[in-house]
Amino acid sequence: MSRRLALVVAATALVSLPVGAVAHGQLAKPPRPGTAVPALPAGQDNPMISEGVAIGANTPLYKSSGLGPAALNTAAPAGSEGRYVDTEVFPGGVLPAGVTITEAQGINVLRRIGENLARQGLSYDDVITMRVFLQNPAGAASADFAGWNRAYRQYFANTSLSTGKPVLVPLGSAAPARPFVVNPARPSRFALEIENLPVAGWLVEVEVDAVFPSKGR
């Protein structure tokens, strides 16, 4: 299987604003020390990712390890894809109409990312960079980028830039609804299709960089 780069993020800079703030334009000077500034694409009210993130001097960062989904569905065989469905979100491991196994595992991973961040006093809106590795589901010719992106939108990049209000997100083929976590952060991100992940049954692995909030944020 070939490796394919789904999203390559080029670093650009913007007006110096705290993490989670939004702006369009071009940076006249580097961000203030202790801040990180997302560079958002112009002309989009709800972009999925930033074009890049400018990081000011002396900005404290937290870099997570790569995390996969937890084996929460003990009714499914060990090592199977279904083992990594989060049964708190999908009781009994049953997926609603249109929810793909990659989408379900993506939700599982992002919940684990949130727990990892919380242990350090951080949250989803402190994330500035994300790296995503996707494996093909059994029998599929390619990775399920669409399913991953639906999972991602439940936790990131789900507010309107013009109004600040939540943007509805679909779960599988259901009608769009309020996202699981309302979060304006749009990290820089890449997603790669790879041949194998390190744990049997994993389809998604994610690692993030986050900025510790500065005083007064």
pLDDT tens, residue by residue, 19-43:
434 455 566 678 889 999 999 998 9
Q: What is the pLDDT of residue 2?
A: 35
Tell me: pLDDT of 66 over 70: yes
Residue 191 has pLDDT above 50, yes or no: yes
pLDDT at 117: 98
pTM of model > 0.85: yes
Indicate whether 1 pLDDT > 70: no
**pLDDT number for residue 15:** 29
Average pLDDT over residues 119-147: 97
Model pLDDT, residue 29 = 73
Beta-strand relationship, 188-194 and 127-135 = parallel
Which pLDDT belongs to residue 55?
94
Q: Report the C-alpha gap between 20 and 38 in whole angstroms.
A: 8
Task: Inform me whether the pLDDT recorded for 151 exceeds 70.
Answer: yes
- Residues with Cβ within 8 Å of residue 165, at least 6 apart in sequence: 159
Mean pLDDT value across the chain:
88
* Average pLDDT estimate for 120-148: 97
Local confidence band at 12 (pLDDT 50, 70, 90 cut-offs): very low
Evaluate if residue 76 carries a pLDDT over 70.
Answer: yes
Is the pLDDT reported for residue 8 higher than 60?
no
139: left (phi over 0), alpha (psi -120 to 50) or beta: left
% of the chain residues with pLDDT over 70: 86
Q: Name which of 191, 66, 204 is nearest 137 in CA terms.
A: 204
pLDDT at 14 over 70: no
Any idea which fold 65-211 has? 60s Ribosomal Protein L30; Chain: A; (3.30.1330)
User: What pLDDT is stored for residue 28 in this prediction?
Assistant: 61
Query: In whole angstroms, how far apart are CA 50 and each of 9, 31, 95, 184?
Result: 8, 16, 31, 11
Q: Band of the pLDDT at 115, cuts 50, 70, 90?
A: very high
The whole-angstrom separation of Cα 52 and Cα 74 is 39
- The pLDDT of residue 24 is 52
Question: Which carries the bigger pLDDT value, residue 173 or residue 12?
Answer: 173
How far apart CA 202 and CA 154 sit, in angstroms, is: 20
